[in-house]
Amino acid sequence: MLLHAQALQWQSPDRSFTLSVPEFILRAGDRVAIVGPSGCGKSTLLGLLSLALRPGTAGKLEIDGEDVSPCWNRRWGAAVLGRIRAAGMGFVPQMSALLPFLSVRANIALPLDVLGQTDRTRVQDLAAQLDILGQLDRMPATLSVGQRQRAAIARAVVHRPRLVFADEPTAALHPDQAAGAMRLLFDQGGAVSAVLMVTHDGLRAAETGFSIVNAVPHAGGACITTARIGHAA
């Protein structure tokens, strides 16, 4: 299993919202789309599973067979989590969050730089596939929202991570571009990687081949599990 979460919980600081994740499994080759109403905890789930948000004390999260839960409570933990993220994960944030002081090309290449990889043809290839070749040498502030979103998609997959997380990656795109971008995410890493996407476009996700998981909202929170798509342990 690439990722196995059990009994994870997250509570907002004011305790008004609790997300519970009884079980969530991503295996190599999985392509999963989370759908559900605004505010029900979809981004929070991505934050938890991508090691950006600290879960409550109970529960367990294994990445590639390694239990990372203890990292949250140890001094050395942040470095371990950082290494796992840098080498094995890619993330398309809801707001594209490109670094404003780097060109689009340098933004996309950033994960390669962090890992000490020098092959730049991949940056060019992804930019061509996402139709932003002409934007590579511009600064993020000069791009449209949709162009920035496509650059963020390229940055998330450029280092061929085994776990790709994407938070509404096509929200700002024209339907034709959205279809292409979703397909590109779907095709990333083939059978050795998993892609977990949050989207309000469940129809397109299903057409592309993603398995759909519904967040189940309830008073004061929501529950999200992959058990229902046949991944019970």
Ligand X SMILES: Nc1ncnc2c1ncn2[C@@H]1O[C@H](COP(=O)(O)OP(=O)(O)OP(=O)(O)O)[C@@H](O)[C@H]1O
By the criterion CB under 6 A, which residues form the site for ligand X? 12-14, 16-17, 36, 38-44
Residue whose CB is less far from ligand X, 123 or 178: 178
Closest CB 24 distance from ligand X, rounded Å:
14
Nearest CA to 31 out of 141, 195, 162, 172 is that of 195
- Cβ–Cβ < 8 Å for 182, 170: yes
Rounded-to-integer distance, Cα 88 and Cα 90, Å: 7
Beta bridge partners of 195: 31, 164
Residue whose CB is less far from ligand X, 107 or 214: 214
Closest CB 63 distance from ligand X, rounded Å:
21
Residue whose CB is less far from ligand X, 13 or 190: 13
Residue whose CB is less far from ligand X, 30 or 167: 167
95-123 burial, b for 16+ CB within 10 Å, e for fewer?
ebebeeeebbbbbbbbbbeeeeeeeeebb
**Which alpha helices (DSSP H) does 58-103 contain, by range?**
77-88
Closest CB 166 distance from ligand X, rounded Å:
12
Closest CB 102 distance from ligand X, rounded Å:
26
